[in-house]
Amino acid sequence: MTAVDARILDEAAHWLARRHASDFSESEHAELLRWRGQSSIHEHVWQQAERLKERMNALPAPMGMAVLDRPRRTASRRHFLKTAALAIGAPALGWLAYRRLPWQAWNADFRTATGERRSVTLADGSSILLNTASALSANFDGASRRVRLHAGEILVETAHPARYADQPFIVQTDDGEMQALGTRFLVRTHGQGTTLAVLDGAVRIAPARSTRGTIVQAGERAEFDSQAVRPVAALAPAADAWTQGVLYAQDMRLEDFLAELARYRPGILQCAPDAADLRVSGSFQLNDTSRILDLLTRTLPVRTEERTRYWVRVARR
């Protein structure tokens, strides 16, 4: 097996977390069995996830959750995580599981849980706001100020102290590097690559496997992968609304809206095909995602189907 649907990996991550929770119920156990029975791939992913979980249980206590937000002291944690993932019977699946299951953030200096936002200040005075389910590391080596975004989304506001004048500020993802040119900008990683949105100043994008760079100016956005930068476009309205705890939608397909909302809500949130093309507009407070779902049922011809607290499907009435 060389590739696995990211959705199945996400669902496996959810069920793995629930399976080992103290309040895991009999009804959830039945739902898990049904999920595993959907296909041979579902069952295979589950077996691999369980094996990886067993390996993670071998982590020494000091490497547990209490230290996840502290700077790395040694490479041992990173080495263990990568080795455990690659040791799984299907190497490609093991690596995907390592990247997508919740413990991938264990290798980060700073992280946020689902639905959480967190502000950090770096050594040079630059500030970074982490959005939901995000993880990053920072490395100031004297030659550059480098931030590695492992997952999620961040707002960066660079500082310009004289001490760091000759050290470029760079944000790196799997897809390439973004060098700040005195600026304020958003970076988000996702399945199709990386999205850059520049609010002030400018940012230079350098894809990992290309010699051609692109400068994105204030009021513009661009998506890129390791090969190339897609055409630059105008910044969408309220692109930084999440920094204020708001999900903004303007004539958005319900399926796309729920995909965005799912980033801020633990568990699985799905949209039935018959409701996918309904349209949503408005500003929604992210501090209560259940209230948003309730509002949808009162303003659109939809209903929610709750298999468990952590598995909700929105369908037409």
Q: What is the CATH number of the domain that holds 272?
A: 3.55.50.30
Q: Domain boundary residue among 214, 234, 254?
A: 234
Q: Is residue 12 part of a domain?
A: yes
Nearest to 246 by CA among 277, 292, 200, 290: 292
Q: Is residue 239 part of a domain?
A: no
How far is Cα 26 from Cα 112, in angstroms, rounded to an integer? 30
Same domain, 129 and 65: no
pLDDT for residue 56: 56
Same domain, 221 and 259: no
Same domain, 115 and 74: no
Same domain, 116 and 176: yes
Nearest to 301 by CA among 282, 273, 270, 278: 278
Q: Domain boundary residue among 50, 78, 107?
A: 107
Q: Which tens digits make up the pLDDT trace of 243-256?
A: 999 999 999 999 99
**Is residue 21's pLDDT more than 90?**
no
- Written as six digits, the tokens of 63 are 């490497």
Confidence of residue 186 (pLDDT cuts 50, 70, 90): very high
Please measure the distance between the N-terminal and C-terminal CA atoms of the chain and give it in whole angstroms.
Answer: 39
How far is Cα 10 from Cα 246, in angstroms, rounded to an integer? 24
Same domain, 205 and 122: yes
How far is Cα 227 from Cα 168, in angstroms, rounded to an integer? 23
Distances in Å between the Cα of 134 and the Cα atoms of 11, 77, 148, 154, 275 are: 18, 19, 11, 8, 29
More confident residue, 308 or 132: 132
- How many domains are contained in the chain? 3
Same domain, 85 and 34: yes
pLDDT for residue 57: 56
Same domain, 96 and 209: no
- Mean pLDDT over all residues of the chain? 83
Least confident of 5-14, 16-25, 68-77, 181-190: 68-77
Q: Which tens digits make up the pLDDT trace of 265-283?
A: 988 899 999 999 999 999 9
Least confident of 36-40, 83-87, 169-173: 83-87
Q: Which tens digits make up the pLDDT trace of 124-164?
A: 999 999 999 899 999 999 999 999 999 899 999 999 999 99
Confidence of residue 89 (pLDDT cuts 50, 70, 90): very low
> What's CA 31's distance to the chain center, in Å?
25
Q: What is the CATH number of the domain that holds 225?
A: 2.60.120.1440
**What is the number of other CB atoms lying within 10 angstroms of the CB of residue 8?**
19
pLDDT for residue 247: 97
- Could you give the 3-state DSSP secondary structure of residue 263? coil
Q: Domain range spanning residue 86? A: 6-107
Strands 176-180 and 169-173: antiparallel
Same domain, 121 and 101: no
pLDDT for residue 37: 87
DSSP run (H or E) holding 139:
strand 135-140
The DSSP 8-state label assigned to residue 232 in this structure reads: P
How far is Cα 199 from Cα 238, in angstroms, rounded to an integer? 10
Distances in Å between the Cα of 42 and the Cα atoms of 95, 113, 146, 257 are: 17, 25, 38, 26
How far is Cα 134 from Cα 202, in angstroms, rounded to an integer? 23
Same domain, 86 and 157: no
Count Cβ atoms within 10 A of the Cβ of residue 137 and give its class: 0-12 exposed, 13-18 middle, 19 or more buried.
middle
